[in-house]
Chains A and B, each alone.
Chain A
Amino acid sequence: MAIKQGLLALLSRGPRYGYQLRAEFEASTGATWPLNIGQVYTTLSRLGRDGLVAPGEQDEQGRVVYTITEAGLAEMERWFSTPVAQSDRPRDELVIKLAMAVAAGTDVRPVIQAQRVATMRTLQGLTRAKRANAESPAQRLVIDSMIFQSEAEQRWLDHCEAVLAASSQTHQTQERQP
């Protein structure tokens, strides 16, 4: 999870309170990635321990302003300049489910069709969210990213269906041979 680097990126624009960081993080990601305030403070204390941010003095309301350090700026830049590796992402349950359905010899077509309808509903929901957030570029890009991912999943499902249809025909032909 990139919460640490995300908070550094927000702090690079100037000192912030913890609650401000939480609000800005959610605004930038179109609320697709909700953070609880506990995660924010845990992360800030780790960043402080590692010397990437410097907490200020508590004010009379008990609030602390956090400032990014030189090391913090360097870490943020390292993050922006490093591509995300596929292996950093969690395994996709859908891929495993379809592979297992094929392995178990069940009829995969209804699994694919049910997923296709569900993924399209997700895509419709994302598209509505995009229309509602048209004026915020950061939110729009986050929602676009999820739209592209859902779209890729939809295309992959079409592909699975075509490949399985072709292979079941080959399979039947082979089985008929002595």
Chain B
Amino acid sequence: MSSEPVLRLADVTRVHGDGPQAVRALRGVSLDVTAGELIAVMGPSGSGKSTLLNLAGGLDTPTSGEVAVEGTSLTGMRAGDLAGLRRRHVGYVFQDLNLIPSLTAVENVMLPRELDGVRAGQARGEARTVLAEVGLADVADRFPDEISGGQRQRVAIARALVGQRRLILADEPTGALDTPTGDEVLQLLRTRCDAGAAVLLVTHEPRYAAWADRVVFLRDGEIADATSAPLESAR
């Protein structure tokens, strides 16, 4: 694969605090996520999973090393430019969905596009398309408290996908969902990946990590091990 990775972390270190109290949350982590690839990150609490995701999305800056999204280095970028790049290229799915309760599903999904300066009519059209893609065409005009937990999670995913973002960052996106509903969430992410997105998934659930092409195990801020899925079937 010669294509440029959608996300590149090169020898990234993140130290919180300084002096004897300094905590090295990440130590020299290098990781590429290419288009069409789903990578899962696993590790115990405090292993650096969330730091990794925050750095990948430009929500935090590395102490050393470089983070690049779609070939653009985030190092030294002005806050305004960084926010713009995040909105255009990066979609987030959090366990805590952050849906706005006073907006309908479609309004929640179109919001990031409107913030991007897209006209309301076009943003609404895009939002309806992506809601249909995640199987929620029927509930597009309902409010978050009028739909099920699984549906709310899918609205949050639709919001992350809208506007052809190619990098999806997902932090425990299956939250407290039951396993069939959690499987549906992974199926959606997987489908998006197969259509050319790059997905970085943080999870502590082995069953969801197993949907990934590659599972990376973090230990004390370092990549301890990784699986690559063999291309041929096990059987």
**Residue ranges of A at the interface with B (Cβ–Cβ < 8 Å):** 31, 113, 116-117, 119-129, 131, 147-148, 150-151, 154-155, 158, 162
Q: Are B207 and A124 in contact (CB under 8 A)?
A: no
Task: Give CA–CA (A104, B224) in the complex, Å.
Answer: 25
Q: Are B210 and A126 in contact (CB under 8 A)?
A: yes
With known contacts A113-B224, A117-B225, A125–B233 Cβ distance under 8 A = yes
Q: How far is the CB of A161 from chain B (nearest CB, A)?
A: 8
Q: Is residue B189 within 8 Å, beta carbon to beta carbon, of the partner chain?
A: no
With known contacts A125-B234, A151-B207, A120–B44 Cβ distance under 8 A = no
Q: Are B207 and A158 in contact (CB under 8 A)?
A: no
Q: Which residues of B contact A129 (CB under 8 A)?
A: 233-235
Task: Give CA–CA (A146, B48) in the complex, Å.
Answer: 30
Q: Are A151 and B234 in contact (CB under 8 A)?
A: no
Q: Are B230 and A120 in contact (CB under 8 A)?
A: no
Q: Are A154 and B206 in contact (CB under 8 A)?
A: yes
Task: Give CA–CA (A158, B44) in the complex, Å.
Answer: 8
Interface-side segment among B141-149, B162-170, B211-219: B211-219
Q: Are B225 and A31 in contact (CB under 8 A)?
A: no
Q: Is residue B201 within 8 Å, beta carbon to beta carbon, of the partner chain?
A: no
Instruction: Report, nearest first, the 8 A-B pairs whose CB atoms are least far apart.
Output: A123-B210, A125-B234, A154-B206, A127-B210, A151-B207, A151-B206, A124-B210, A124-B229
Q: Which residues of A contact B206 (CB under 8 A)?
A: 119-120, 123, 150-151, 154-155
Q: How far is the CB of A130 from chain B (nearest CB, A)?
A: 8
Q: Which residues of B contact A124 (CB under 8 A)?
A: 210-212, 215, 227, 229
Q: Are B235 and A121 in contact (CB under 8 A)?
A: no
Q: How far is the CB of B195 from chain A (nearest CB, A)?
A: 15
Main secondary structure on A side of the interface with B: helix
Task: Give CA–CA (A34, B5) in the complex, Å.
Answer: 42
Task: Give CA–CA (A113, B226) in the complex, Å.
Answer: 10
Partner of B225, one of A116, A128, A131: A116
Chain B: number of interface residues, binned into ranges: 20 to 34
Residue of B nearest to A148 (CB): B207
**Residue ranges of B at the interface with A (Cβ–Cβ < 8 Å):** 44, 187, 190, 205-207, 209-212, 215, 217, 224-227, 229-230, 233-235
Task: Give CA–CA (A125, B235) in the complex, Å.
Answer: 9
Partner of A127, one of B44, B211, B225: B211
Partner of A120, one of B209, B224, B235: B209
Q: Which residues of A contact B226 (CB under 8 A)?
A: 117
Q: How far is the CB of B47 from chain A (nearest CB, A)?
A: 11
Task: Give CA–CA (A126, B235) in the complex, Å.
Answer: 10
Task: Give CA–CA (A18, B225) in the complex, Å.
Answer: 47
Q: Which residues of A contact B212 (CB under 8 A)?
A: 124
Q: Are B207 and A147 in contact (CB under 8 A)?
A: yes
Q: Which residues of B contact A119 (CB under 8 A)?
A: 206
Residue of A nearest to B42 (CB): A120
With known contacts A116-B217, A128-B233, A158-B44, A121–B227 Cβ distance under 8 A = yes
Q: Are B230 and A121 in contact (CB under 8 A)?
A: yes
Task: Give CA–CA (A89, B233) in the complex, Å.
Answer: 27
Q: How far is the CB of B229 from chain A (nearest CB, A)?
A: 5
Task: Give CA–CA (A113, B116) in the complex, Å.
Answer: 45
Q: How far is the CB of B118 from chain A (nearest CB, A)?
A: 34
Q: How far is the CB of B38 from chain A (nearest CB, A)?
A: 11
Residue of A nearest to B190 (CB): A131
Q: Are A31 and B235 in contact (CB under 8 A)?
A: yes
Task: Give CA–CA (A121, B234) in the complex, Å.
Answer: 9
Q: How far is the CB of B40 from chain A (nearest CB, A)?
A: 9
Q: List 19 A-B contacts (CB under 8 A).
A: A113-B217, A116-B217, A119-B206, A120-B206, A120-B215, A121-B230, A122-B234, A123-B206, A123-B207, A124-B212, A124-B227, A125-B233, A128-B229, A129-B233, A129-B235, A131-B190, A150-B206, A151-B206, A155-B206
